Amino acid sequence: MDNVLVPDTTTYPGTDYYHVRMVQVQQDLGLIDPETRKPLRTTVWAYGAANRTATYPGPTIVAHSTLATNRQPGKPVKVRWENALPDKHLLPVDTTVHCGPDARQQHSHCRPFVRTVTHLHGGHVPDHSDGYPEAWFSPGFREKGPLWSREVYDYPNDQEAATLWYHDHAMGITRLNVYAGLAGFYLVRDDNEQRLQRDGRLPAPAYDVPLVIQDRSFRRDGSLFYTSGKGEFEQRPEEAEKTAAAPGERLPRDPITGQLSSSIEPEFFGDTILVNGKAWPVLEVEPRKYRLRVLNGSNSRFYRLTLSSGQEFQQIGSDGGFLNAPVARRELLLAPAERADVIVDFADPKLAGQTIVVRNDARTPFPNGHAVDPATTGQVMAFRVSKPMSATADATLPASLRAPLAKLPGLRARVRQLLLAEIKDEFGRIKTMLGTVEHGALGWDAPISETPRRNDVEIWSVVNATPDAHPMHLHMVFFQVLDRQKYDAEKFEAGKPATLRLTGTAMAPPAGERGWKDTVIMRPGEVTRVIARFDLPGLYVWHCHILEHEDHEMMRPYRVLP
């Protein structure tokens, strides 16, 4: 964890303050020119304290929990997010996807194209600092979205130790801004985590490694490639030899009608896997346990990860922090935005000198799409057991990681029946949407239908009436997954609640999902139920974290009433 921001502790006494800029830089992503064999540099968008130190992924922010359960509570964090990007976007912008009605009125075709707003994903934060999509701002704050309110964001850190991340969330172009590079880790620590490390029950900080997995595509010169739609994949520019695509992996779904200069696609699947901003990297490791904080930071791609050694690993945490106890796993499924905290042990003498490949076999789109190419997108990174053992003692995992997670009370909870839907837009393109079972699909501008009161506990029962799985994310809250159950999809009609008929038995979540979650996979043909307490009043959003879906109407506001 080398790239950690150092806080300013004097500007706001009692607070860790950071001034983070978004800038355009060139960076070595591990690409090699196929003819000259020389390294290529790629223009990306990056976060950093200054232009010369800005990186993709962005620098890690480390905070300490302010919960009173800590003997020495940490400090809240303030961040001034500054947009210092060029006025021209790095990628093709589709001006037809939603930007909010006020933005359309103020700026023709939702200009400015280079608008940003940063969301702390997994953060328990007031709405003015949540990174609401319409709170965007342009370079130098010259233009601001209709719900922009402040330059400096407040992060209270009143939550347990967890692996969070920050990323762009601007209305209508989140997929482009994140793809360009605007994402980074935000780690919350607490006394429990530090005690486990101090007692040798978790790997020491030197063996605590955050890993963000993202897929990208590149042109021959190393520049980022992102489709401008309209069948461009069939007329794609020549690329570097290492980016051979999996057969059929990125074919357009349906012909697009109308006259568009650039068009959003239902999903985007790159043919090169990056980990921490490097293509197919190799991490040299000691023969000991490592803690890997794995984040799926891809736009659309799911990953089902296994180790080529066939060995087990232990999952110790999910989105919102530690599980009750370690869970033995041989594979790990992660949808976009999900995190898993895992322990991998490289101490077996049989692994000495070996290279262990992290493999992926998740179909695109998940779960019923095309198979990955084993030679490219079927590989993520590798570990080489080549370093000598240091003097630091190896960890011995505990049987218990935390005080048992208390279940939220559901007996008196309001139950909302919600909907994931798929329709066609005015150009004939697939458009994924949210809504309710009673009223059907609802657009961003429709009246808000989810209005819990402060401290209400609610059960959201979500029907997936689309052919794909969706990683659904709720801002501000962590929730618990209750169950999943199949329903009669052939007889169900959105807008007619009486046609929703559950079948079979409800399935409890697997052990790896029994902690706090902020993003959960909702599979086709199933009803997924989650329970949450809405304890901060204000305006937030819930949405699919397939970014192409989020940008094309699969996002809705919700409001917590006082």
Domain boundaries, the chain: 16-189, 210-385, 414-560
β-bridge mates for residue 295, sequence order: 212, 339
Please tell me the predicted confidence (pLDDT) of residue 1. Answer: 64
Please tell me the predicted confidence (pLDDT) of residue 262. Answer: 77
Please tell me the predicted confidence (pLDDT) of residue 39. Answer: 94
By the 8 A CB rule, do 382 and 356 touch?
Answer: yes
Confidence band for 99, pLDDT divided at 50, 70 and 90: low
By the 8 A CB rule, do 465 and 493 touch?
Answer: no
Q: Which letter does DSSP use for residue 194 in this model?
A: H
Whether the per-residue pLDDT at 350 is higher than 50: the answer is: yes
Give the whole-angstrom CA distance, residue 462 versus residue 449: 14
Please tell me the predicted confidence (pLDDT) of residue 112. Answer: 78
pLDDT digits (tens, 9 = 90+) for 516-551: 999 999 999 999 999 999 999 999 999 999 999 999
Confidence band for 110, pLDDT divided at 50, 70 and 90: low
Alpha-carbon distances of 1 from 262, 284, 472, 477, rounded to whole Å: 39, 14, 29, 27
Give the whole-angstrom CA distance, residue 550 versus residue 561: 24
Confidence band for 51, pLDDT divided at 50, 70 and 90: confident
Give the whole-angstrom CA distance, residue 333 versus residue 341: 12
Mean pLDDT, the chain, rounded, equals 92
Q: Which letter does DSSP use for residue 72 in this model?
A: S
Whether the per-residue pLDDT at 254 is higher than 60: the answer is: no
pTM of the entire predicted model: 0.94
Nearby residues of 403 by Cβ (< 8 Å), 6 or more positions away = none
- CATH architecture type of domain 16-189: Sandwich (2.60)
β-bridge mates for residue 208, sequence order: 291
Chosen CATH of 414-560 out of 3.60.40.10, 3.40.50.150, 2.60.40.10, 2.60.40.420: 2.60.40.420
Please tell me the predicted confidence (pLDDT) of residue 248. Answer: 31
Please tell me the predicted confidence (pLDDT) of residue 431. Answer: 94
By the 8 A CB rule, do 224 and 42 touch?
Answer: yes
Which tokens go with 209? Answer: 């490694």
Please tell me the predicted confidence (pLDDT) of residue 247. Answer: 30
Chosen CATH of 210-385 out of 3.30.1330.120, 3.40.50.2300, 2.60.40.420, 3.40.50.300: 2.60.40.420
Lowest mean pLDDT among 48-52, 270-274, 301-305: 48-52
Share of the chain above pLDDT 90, in %: 86
Whether the per-residue pLDDT at 103 is higher than 80: the answer is: no
Instruction: Classify 557 as helix, strand or coil.
Output: strand
Average pLDDT over residues 435-463: 98
Whether the per-residue pLDDT at 101 is higher than 90: the answer is: no
Average pLDDT over residues 15-31: 98
pLDDT digits (tens, 9 = 90+) for 129-170: 999 999 999 999 999 999 999 999 999 999 999 999 999 999
By the 8 A CB rule, do 221 and 237 touch?
Answer: no
Average pLDDT over residues 302-311: 99
Burial code of 71-101, b = ≥16 C-beta within 10 A, e = fewer? Answer: eebbbbbbbebbbebeeebbbbbbbbbbbbe
Lowest mean pLDDT among 104-108, 334-338, 416-420: 104-108
